[in-house]
Chain A
Amino acid sequence: MSHFLDRVETALRDDHLQGALHSATERLWSRRSAALDGLENSDTIRDMARRSKLGLLRDLAGNLETFEKNLIRNGIKVHWAQNGKEANRIVVEIARKSGCKRAVKSKSMVTEETHLNHDLLEAGLDVLETDLGEYIVQLAETTPSHIILPIIHMTRQDIGKIMHNRISVPYTDSPEELAKIARVKLREAFLSADLGITGANFGVIDSGAICLVSNEGNARLVTTLPRVHVAIMGIEKLVPSLADLDLMIKILARSATGQKITTYTSLVSGPRRPGELDGPEEMHVVLLDNGRTNILGGDLAEILGCIRCGACLNACPVYKNIGGHAYGDTYPGPIGAIVTPGLRGLENWKELPDASSLCGACREVCPVRLDIPRMLLKLRQTGVEEGRSPFTLKFIMKGFGMVVSRPWLYRLSARWGGRLARVVAKAGWIHKLPGLGGGWTRSREMRAPVAKSFQDLWKERGSTGSPTGGRGKNG
């Protein structure tokens, strides 16, 4: 795979991407703020949600066992997968046993993480993404660039061309027409599919149910029409009870899109019951580890409380400029910078924790108040311990006054040094730096160069501990 900075360079050169990212993230940001302002006691609700998500990690093993027991009670078959390959194999086996040939999927980050589509196709199964954005991602043979808006990086013209070229429909760039075409095409697929694959937004322990949210309704179709339903979920996606689920639902959509609630919020607790004429005859849940237990055992366990709302992406000045693909793996933005090294190992992802200016905007918007900057610092520290030296500021300060006046870029440059200077100069990007909007307008004091360099901070904090090493609770 290309180097992180190469991907950054590509992103910075892409004018369209810059424009699209800025306008979309700004709009989502302001909708989010308005939505949370409209929620009574939102601060308390966020604290309670945090308590609930982090609390269950303290006995995740016991909680998983109870969840499993309740799923089984509801007639759901439960599987455990240590890694992505194993999860995919389980899905392939389920399909084989039940004689399924055609799978439809609703949007699921965890199946992106395991590269499920690849393995299904290899095993000779048809698989179709049905979320509009993911469908287009699949047609274009690319990957999603935002966890809520997968094709935030494409224009309507791009999308029109992709549809025209790949499924031979007349070219149009009207979003409405494009959606209509997708409705017809995908409806045919839904009616003939025999396997439905979803992720899970939450697993509700006491009800033995999974919760799925979707605005389009494709998750409902996927869990209603095919004979067999398989849900794949990370082992951390639990909530204790329906009351906790209520808290999560209150903050999830508000943080993600600014809606009070996602259009379809489904609670699926088993195959169809006797007398019912629709819904799957068979339901499976695959519980996936894939590095999560490593994260749980270290200093970054907190990140397992993430409810994947995407708010930290929209708030992140770095994400706004480099987009999702630069992060190189399933989860982009601040969350990706922590989760990816955690899931895949820091070895090949050392630069990711640097893809942040530590401005704190992510922590501020996070509905469950995850301390993302703390975790990023921790990861950087580990990178340094493993022999990577931090960059110096000198380089960038010479020629690029513009950089210094952009606090986030300034901080980045402190990390990326000469390499970034070259990227910026080559892209001629300095002259068309978009203004800083949203949460950044309030940060005038940040215009001054960062008070402490990373080295200082590092020295100050001491050099003990690593994200995967065994630390005590008071680390």
Chain B
Amino acid sequence: MDKASRTSILARVRQSQIRGFIPESPEGLPDGLVAKKTDPADLLFRLQEEFNLLGVKTFIEASEEAVCDRVQKLIAGKSVLSWDLDQLPYGLGKGLEISLQNQTVYYGRDSKEDQAKAEIGLTGCEAVLAETGSLAMISATGKPRTASLLPYVHVVVIRRSDIVMSMGEFLEKHKSREWLPYLVFITGPSRTADIELSLTLGVHGPGEVIAVIGS
């Protein structure tokens, strides 16, 4: 059944694509968009601006210890769904090891139901796009997709050197890489405007995103 449909659809497409009227495109267009070089200081500035517009609370810390302190404060007393500790940037996993012993922490290996109980998700990220304030996340062992998705609050730790300007730049960098199977750009908290166009946060994903940027 499937096979026959494939054959007949492709045959119909072959006929149609010759017969149909497909307008010509304008001429003289560039082949692709060229990313502009940006000063790293501008990148951070732009990112902060975008985060601000999106309502992403941002902390910029000067040292690894400061990052660790900040995260500790943000998650204190809460149940946490975390990436595997060795996957967190800035050796954060080591720094948090002791304090995490006194709170409930779930990981990707726990049941979905348990993971869904966590109040805060703790993750790193692959890169950040300054132009739109988007976190690029690539799923992998020890980096569960759920951590940036299920809890109401998402705390993300960002390496300063992972900030790039645009999606184009990011995609270009990773073009040859097999980034399977799942890449998501997260831009601010989950939102809906379905009810009378009034903006409501956190309808499915996190309603609050907090960024901690290290040096």
Residues of A within 8 A of B (CB): 20, 23-24, 27-28, 41, 44-45, 47-48, 50-51, 54-55, 57-61, 64-65, 74-75, 79-82, 86, 90, 130-133, 136, 149-152, 155-156, 159, 175-176, 178-179, 182-183, 186-187, 191, 215-218, 220-221, 223-225, 235, 242-243, 245-247, 249, 257, 259-273, 275-279, 287, 289, 293-302, 371, 470-475
Nearest-CB distance from A177 to chain B (Å)? 9
Nearest-CB distance from A26 to chain B (Å)? 10
Shortest 10 CB-CB contacts between residues of A and residues of B: A217-B205, A297-B16, A275-B141, A301-B20, A133-B194, A51-B25, A296-B16, A293-B12, A80-B6, A217-B204
Nearest-CB distance from B27 to chain A (Å)? 9
23 contacts between A and B (CB under 8 A): A23-B197, A24-B197, A44-B30, A54-B23, A61-B17, A64-B13, A74-B181, A86-B1, A133-B192, A136-B194, A149-B197, A152-B197, A156-B195, A183-B202, A216-B190, A225-B146, A243-B168, A263-B187, A266-B184, A269-B181, A273-B180, A296-B16, A371-B23
| Interface contact A267-B183, CB-CB below 8 Å | yes
Alpha-carbon gap, A302 to B205, bound state (A): 36
Alpha-carbon gap, A79 to B193, bound state (A): 34
- Chain A, residue nearest B175 (CB): A242
Nearest-CB distance from B78 to chain A (Å)? 18
Residues of B within 8 A of A (CB): 1-2, 5-6, 8-10, 12-17, 19-23, 25-26, 29-30, 32-33, 108-109, 112-113, 116, 131-132, 134, 139-141, 144-146, 149, 166-168, 171-172, 175, 179-198, 200, 202-206
On chain B, the residues within 8 Å of A243 by CB distance are 32-33, 168, 171-172
Nearest-CB distance from A394 to chain B (Å)? 35
Alpha-carbon gap, A41 to B167, bound state (A): 16
Alpha-carbon gap, A220 to B154, bound state (A): 15
Alpha-carbon gap, A247 to B12, bound state (A): 29
Q: Identify the interface centre among A51, A152, A186, A261: most chain B CB within 10 Å of its CB.
A: A261
| Interface contact B108-A277, CB-CB below 8 Å | yes
| Interface contact B195-A179, CB-CB below 8 Å | yes
| Interface contact B149-A298, CB-CB below 8 Å | no
